[in-house]
Chain A
Amino acid sequence: MDCTTTSPAARRYLRRFLVTMLLYVVFIVLAVSVFVHYRPTGPLAWLLAVLPALAIILQIAAYGLYLAEETDEFQKNLAVQSMVWGIGATLSVTVTWGFLENFVQLRHMDLFLVYPLFCGLSGIAYGLVGRRYR
């Protein structure tokens, strides 16, 4: 989810992105600290485990807001195209990895890595799609 424009919508997205990243770091540190020191169980353990994911869900929502608020149709088109390529590439990598895990015992990929993988691949896609319009 790359964004290099300076439109008001892009600036708002950047702010929201930074806030959700900060939340993510705080939630990760909190969850790890509590689990290491107190070894919680039951609903508290579930809540702590879900908190970092909540920050990521908020980040995805922030991107949805960006797409809704961006009035520059070309930039919105770039963002959507890169997201679609990012989704396709992420699905391709993860489904291939899954079969390799089953059949040739490739190292297990943790599911929480799927989102950063998607962000990275979407970022690469943004650069490549953008080159088509130069």
Chain B
Amino acid sequence: MKNRLRVLRAERNWSQADLAQRLEVSRQSVNAIETGKFDPSLPLAFKLARLFESTIEAIFSDES
């Protein structure tokens, strides 16, 4: 699934490790989600949306 995580992270000057710490997951998890290789669960997607003060739809898109 495509997403804007890299852009949102860059806007805040956060590394993958910084985001992982805020989400309480591993850096590998952030990398897998960011590169579209792993789709997060709904609770984790909501957590991301809250963290970036955005909506799930604004972060993720289901275009292939």
- List residues of chain B with CB under 8 Å of any chain A CB: 24-26, 28-29, 31-33, 35, 37-38, 40-41, 44
- A5 partner residues in chain B, CB cutoff 8 A: 26, 28
Can you sample 16 A-B contacts with CB below 8 Å?
A: A5-B28, A6-B26, A71-B24, A72-B26, A73-B25, A73-B29, A73-B40, A74-B25, A74-B26, A74-B29, A74-B38, A133-B32, A133-B35, A133-B37, A133-B38, A134-B31
- List residues of chain A with CB under 8 Å of any chain B CB: 5-7, 71-75, 77, 130, 132-134
Chain B, residue nearest A133 (CB): B32
Chain B, residue nearest A73 (CB): B41
| CB contact under 8 A between A77 and B38, given known A133-B31, A133-B32 | yes
- The CA of A134 and the CA of B31, in the complex, are separated in Å by 8
8 smallest A-B Cβ distances: which pairs? A74-B29, A133-B32, A72-B25, A133-B37, A5-B26, A74-B38, A74-B32, A72-B26
